[in-house]
Amino acid sequence: MEIPYTVQPRPDTGIYNAKVGIWLFLASEVMLFGGLFSAYILLRVGAEPGMWPHGWLNVTLGTVNTILLALSAITTLLAWVACKVREFGKFKFFHACTILLALTFLGIKSYEYRDKLIHYEIALTSGKFADGHLVEKSKDFDLAKKTGTVTLHGHIVEDRKELMDLRSPEAQAAKHTDITIAAADIKKMENYAPRHNTFTAIYFTLTGLHALHILGGTLVIFYLWGPGSKMWFTDHERFTNRIEVSGLFWHFVDLVWIFLFPVLYLT
Amino acid sequence: MIFMSDSEHPVDLKSYIRRCAVILLAVICTTSLMIATSFSHIGTGWTARVAIILGIASVNAFLVAGYLMHLLSEKKMVYALLAFTVFFFIGLLGLTIWASNDFPPGTAMH
């Protein structure tokens, strides 16, 4: 039995079925990300004055990722055009570029996650706060038993609020050095994982979900670039439509990032 | 000349590469503008700056959706689907924000 309208447009919709399907799927994706974006807005406007983090994320890396995704959206489109003009070599080249760009994006995102996970905020028994990246923990370091020391590369502040705006002149002027703290002087020690505060929670949720979409899209594109490309020679029109549909998904992922970047990194 | 299947625009790889180069340049420019706005301290408050940045991001999104996703030359069916999506998306954001101050009586406010 032949599946209808995989190539020819369906008379009532004017487009082939897979395209209707992907647009319906993208509509559901808009609602999924929309829910999370509205959660972000609520958390942000509900935060106490001066307690919403500002400048915590690396704008340079975010910008590089924005350009990488824009480039990958373009190579995806060009791969589809190469299908249209029946140039197999160029199709392979453009989609290989898309895969490499996507993997680079994920690599940079992983680096950013690692940077947050080795970044610690330590509440000291003196009432001050130490903040910085973990350099080392002594072998006998045990927070529960209050033994050993931990070394951070960072600085110490009087008030936790001083850690919120890293773009403030005070934060920019702060000198970061290696600070060694005894476990006995630590009241609470926590890295910048999702549980740290509502910003890190929504940051990891939004970007994590987006990264999963990138990963899923990359797997589909890899399949179409590799084993799935056999269809080029057996049913070229249908294969071209598959490339178009996967491309639409990829552009949507790029669209989400276009809003994630300014919302999380710039505002 | 090859034609796209569901619209009658001719497809030519070289012209697409030129078009894509222009879009990439525009995306880089708009991204730079967003960053510049974010770091600038010229007389505008935080709310105005956020509005400007999101406005620029919307231009960026229009470039991707309009030209790379071919939304400027799509079929009515796709536009209808998108119209429903926009309606429900606005409803989703609107209802959530509307309900954000809807606390039960006696809730302690800080």
Mean pLDDT of A4-16: 90
Q: Looking at the predicted structure, is the pLDDT value of residue A35 above 60?
A: yes
Of residues B88 and B46, the one with the higher pLDDT is B88
* pLDDT tens digits, A85-111: 999 999 999 999 999 999 999 999 999
Mean pLDDT of B67-77: 90
B7-11, B75-79, B105-109: range with highest mean pLDDT: B75-79
Q: Is the pTM of this model over 0.90?
A: yes
Chain B contacts in chain A segment 91-130 (CB below 8 A): none
Please tell me if residue A46 touches chain B, with a CB cutoff of 8 Å. Answer: yes
Chain B contacts in chain A segment 235-264 (CB below 8 A): 237, 240-241, 248, 251-252, 254-255, 258-259, 261-263
Q: Which of A104, A109, A160, A82 is nearest to A265 (CA)?
A: A109
Cβ contact, residue pair A84, B54, below 8 Å: no
Q: How far apart are CA B65 and CA B67, in angstroms?
A: 6
For strand A149-157 and strand A129-137, is the pairing parallel, antiparallel, or unpaired? Answer: antiparallel
Q: Helix A198-225 to helix A236-261 angle, to the nearest 10 degrees?
A: 160
Contact (Cβ atoms closer than 8 angstroms) between residue A135 and residue A153: yes
Domain ranges in chain B are 2-69, 75-101
Contact (Cβ atoms closer than 8 angstroms) between residue A260 and residue A207: yes
- Label residues B46-58 b or e (16+ Cβ within 10 Å = b): eeebbebbbebbe
In degrees, rounded to 5, the angle at the alpha carbon of residue A204 between the alpha carbons of residues A252 and B33 is: 55
Question: Which domains can be identified in chain A, with CATH numbers?
Answer: 22-116+197-266 (1.20.120.80), 119-191 (2.30.30)
What is the average pLDDT score of chain A?
Answer: 95
Chain B CA closest to residue A48: B110
SS3 for A185-215 is HEEEEEECCCCCCHHHHHHHHHHHHHHHHHH
Report the percent of chain A where pLDDT is more than 70. Answer: 100
Residue A167 is encoded by which pair of tokens?
A: 């773009």
Which residue in B84, B89, B107 has the most chain A C-beta atoms within 10 A of its own C-beta, making it the best mutation to test that interface? Answer: B89
Query: How close are the terminal C-alpha atoms of chain B, in Å?
Result: 68
Shortest Cα distance, chain A CAs vs residue B94, angstroms: 9
The interface predicted TM-score (ipTM) is 0.88
Chain B CA closest to residue A20: B78
Q: Which of the 8 DSSP states describes residue A58?
A: -
Task: State the residue for tokens 């935060």.
Answer: A47
The H-or-E segment that residue A182 falls in is strand A177-182
Q: Looking at the predicted structure, is the pLDDT value of residue A34 above 50?
A: yes
Q: How far apart are CA B47 and CA B54, in angstroms?
A: 11
Q: Output the pLDDT for position A63.
A: 96
Residues on chain A touching B56 (C-beta within 8 angstroms): 262
Radius of gyration (C-alpha) of chain B in whole angstroms: 21
Q: Which of the 8 DSSP states describes residue A45?
A: H
* pLDDT tens digits, A47-66: 888 889 999 999 999 999 99
The H-assigned helical ranges of A15-162 are 17-46, 59-84, 88-117
Chain B CA closest to residue A67: B28
* pLDDT tens digits, A161-190: 999 999 888 888 999 999 999 999 999 999
The total of other beta-carbon atoms located within 10 Å of residue B42's CB is 6
Mean pLDDT of A34-57: 91
Q: Output the pLDDT for position A118.
A: 97
Q: Output the pLDDT for position B3.
A: 43
The full DSSP string for B33-80 is HHHHHHH--SS--HHHHHHHHHHHHHHHHHHIIIIIS-GGG--HHHHH
pLDDT bin (cut points 50, 70, 90) of residue A2 is confident
Chain A CA closest to residue B96: A38
Residue B54 is encoded by which pair of tokens?
A: 């999101």
* pLDDT tens digits, A199-252: 999 999 999 999 999 999 999 999 999 999 999 999 999 999 999 999 999 999
Q: How far apart are CA B103 and CA A42, in angstroms?
A: 14
Contact (Cβ atoms closer than 8 angstroms) between residue A6 and residue A18: yes
Q: Looking at the predicted structure, is the pLDDT value of residue B7 above 50?
A: no
* pLDDT tens digits, A107-147: 999 999 999 999 999 999 999 999 999 999 999 999 999 99
